[in-house]
Amino acid sequence: MATILDGNKIAAEIRAEVAAEVRDMAAAGIRPGLAVLLVGHNPASEIYVRGKVKSCEEVGICSEKLTPPDTISTPELLELVLELNRRDEIDGILVQLPLPPQVDSKKILMAVDPAKDVDGFHPVNVGFLSTQRPGLVPCTPAGIMEILKRSNIPVAGQEAVVVGRSDIVGKPTAMLLINANATVTVCHSKTRDLPGVCRRADILVAAIGRAGMITRDFVKPGATVIDVGMNKVTERAEFDRLFAGNAKREESFRTKGSTLVGDAHPNAAEVAGAITPVPGGVGPLTIAMLMANTVKAAKMRRGSRMPTRPAEHARSA
Ligand code: GUN
């Protein structure tokens, strides 16, 4: 069976490092500030934002939550973003996605000051990443690299396969792996012989959003599997395909009516050398890296006003 890569433990390490940096900044009279824009009442977004605000409190970052109604127009939301761009005490701006359909999401993300773009979604930061310049890197891909680094999994010279080509996860993860000297293949819905391509991987990143799609047949024995999926399974047949005979999951499925599963099927762990669990794998890293990005943005913006500390997660940036 595969080694389980404990995302909660790695995220806690990073949070402790970020908290130490925040304390150093406080000694210099600076408190990093993160503004989170949550439009409307998407239940999943509300849960994510609650986690982000709580994490800010834990590490000492000042957080501010703005909650405009889901009827907001593009120009109105644009004005909120521009006001946050102007405020000097705000170092990071996060616009929680998805936005309501009447809002032009691309226009809103383009309006965020790239220096405050802690999600790393602005085309300027995308360009910095692809040309290996210092900038803000999307949180989930940055978290994946931290898991690999802190678990001593070699990347340089390894075959990496990324399944999924989203702007938020697949593409930036592929870019980070290229920058770390892996040989990278990006797969998607039109890829021929997906299992065969995946079996070439020493590092297999699953970011497709399909419950349990990556079965043992996709995994080279001993490979590292990074599972980015967060899928809610509510149907009995689907549950049985994934968890038949798993008493613990059965119990929670019966009481809650659903269970959370990644893109990797549980039987992938029988073949892999190491694998991230769901929940408790990549998920916790996303928020930890948001904290790290907020401190990084504060340091980059405030330049020489800042004290320095050689942070583990900041070194490769
Ligand atoms: N919605 C789902 N994931 C994310 C993320 O990483 N950032 C933002 N802003 N919204 C999201």
Active site residues: 52, 96, 119
Q: What percent of the chain has pLDDT over 70?
A: 96
Q: Which atom of ligand 1 is nearest to the CA of 94?
A: 9
117 ligand 1 Cβ < 6 A:
no
Confirm if 59 and 15 have CB atoms less than 8 A apart: yes
Mutate to test the pocket of ligand 1, among 49, 52, 55, 97 (most ligand atoms within 8 A of CB): 97
The reply to whether ligand 1 has any atom less than 6 angstroms from the CB of 139 is yes
Hey, what domains does the chain have and what are their CATH numbers?
28-119 (3.40.50.10860), 139-283 (3.40.50.720)
Indicate if the pLDDT at residue 315 is higher than 60.
no
Q: Is 94 in the pocket of ligand 1 (CB under 6 A)?
A: yes
**Model confidence over 236-254: pLDDT tens digits?**
999 999 999 999 999 999 9
Global confidence as pTM: 0.94
Region 48-75: mean pLDDT is: 98
- Residues of the chain with pLDDT > 90, as a percent, come to 95
Which pair of tokens denotes residue 138? 């999307």
* Ligand 1 centroid from CA 85, angstroms: 19
* CA atoms of 74 and 293, how far apart (whole Å): 26
> Residue 308's pLDDT is what?
64
Contact 136/91 with Cβ under 8 angstroms? no
pLDDT for 305 beyond 70? no
Cα(206)–Cα(165) distance, rounded to whole angstroms?
Answer: 10
